[in-house]
């Protein structure tokens, strides 16, 4: 994947045009539904669970599924050398933002913190796998970042999720996050032959947008360093679509 600054990534318009000219098949969540279904969302950082799966979580909840959010890190490395966001304040804020965002979706959920170091998940992939292995059962659904998303933490989380889902015979749904910015429709990096699309209802779109807005630490400028928002308007455009896109091998 090519390197990029968030404000310089691929425009959402390019993806919208690609999906208009080459439509993606619909994702039917009801094929996964069974009594006692648990949906596991693997979130390397607070906000990944909403960006990648805010709509999926709402729809699965309506279908009666239980949701477990595996919060791998507290996102403490997002603002280095910031007087506005010292480490302990940032950890507390990002945890609260995640909880507020999840509550905004109006779903029932359990959030499990693994307290792994932000920016170092490739060194803790076995710990992620162990935690997931203890939680995931056969025919559960595991939602995780695409394992080629372009961010080392996302990719480590995605690999662990893939391995455990295969071992437990669970369903894996991969969600691109930074991949929408880092790749482009004409580069052939994304496995769009495996892509499926979940169209969101207006209320689901509204709640997801409100949930994203809870992550003020990521959407506001850092006044102490002058750094622009991590989740710039250009990045967020990919997550304001009226649909979500996942990759899945066995549909």
Q: Are 134 and 160 in contact (CB under 8 A)?
A: no
pTM of the model: 0.96
What band does 249 get if pLDDT is binned at 50, 70 and 90?
confident
Q: Render pLDDT for 130-155 as a digit per residue (tens, 0 to 9).
A: 999 999 999 999 999 999 999 999 99
Q: Does domain 6-247 have CATH number 3.40.50.10320?
A: yes
- The b-or-e profile of 18-56 (16+ CB within 10 A means b, else e) is bbeeeebeebebeebeeeebbbbbbbbbbbbbbbbbbbb
Q: Residue 193, CB half-sphere, CA atoms under 13 Å: how many?
A: 2
Q: How far is the C-alpha of 155 from the C-alpha of 192, rounded, in Å?
A: 18
Q: Render pLDDT for 9-28 as a digit per residue (tens, 0 to 9).
A: 899 999 999 999 999 999 99
Q: Using alpha carbons only, give the angle 46, 65, 208 rounded to the nearest 5 degrees.
A: 40
Residue of 97, 37, 25 whose CA lies nearest to 62: 37
β pairing state of 141-145 and 171-175: parallel
Domain chopping of the chain, boundaries: 6-247
Phi then psi for 142, rounded to 5 degrees? -115, 120
pLDDT at res. 218: 98
Say whether pLDDT at 251 is over 50. Answer: no
């Amino acid at each position: 994947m090519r390197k990029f600054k968030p404000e310089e990534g691929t425009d959402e318009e390019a993806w919208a045009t690609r999906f208009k000219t080459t439509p993606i098949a619909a994702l039917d969540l009801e094929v996964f539904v069974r009594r006692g279904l648990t949906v596991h969302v693997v979130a390397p950082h607070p906000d990944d669970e909403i960006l990648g799966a805010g709509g999926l979580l709402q729809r699965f909840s309506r279908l009666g599924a239980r949701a477990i959010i595996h919060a791998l890190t507290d996102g403490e490395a997002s603002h280095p050398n910031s007087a506005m966001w010292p480490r302990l304040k940032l950890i507390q804020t990002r945890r609260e933002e995640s909880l507020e965002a999840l509550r905004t979706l109006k779903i029932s959920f359990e959030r499990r913190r693994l307290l792994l170091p932000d920016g170092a998940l490739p060194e803790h992939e076995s710990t992620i796998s162990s935690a997931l292995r203890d939680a995931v059962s056969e025919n559960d659904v595991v939602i995780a970042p695409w394992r080629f998303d372009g961010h080392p933490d996302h990719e480590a989380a995605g690999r662990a999720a893939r391995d455990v889902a295969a071992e437990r015979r669970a369903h894996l749904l991969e969600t691109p996050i930074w991949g929408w910015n880092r790749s482009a429709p004409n580069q052939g990096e994304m496995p769009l032959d495996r892509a499926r699309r979940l169209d969101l209802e207006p209320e689901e779109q509204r709640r997801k947008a409100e949930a994203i807005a809870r992550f003020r630490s990521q959407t506001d400028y850092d006044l102490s360093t002058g750094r622009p928002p991590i989740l710039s308007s250009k990045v967020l455009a990919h997550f304001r679509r009226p649909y979500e896109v996942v990759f899945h091998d066995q549909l």
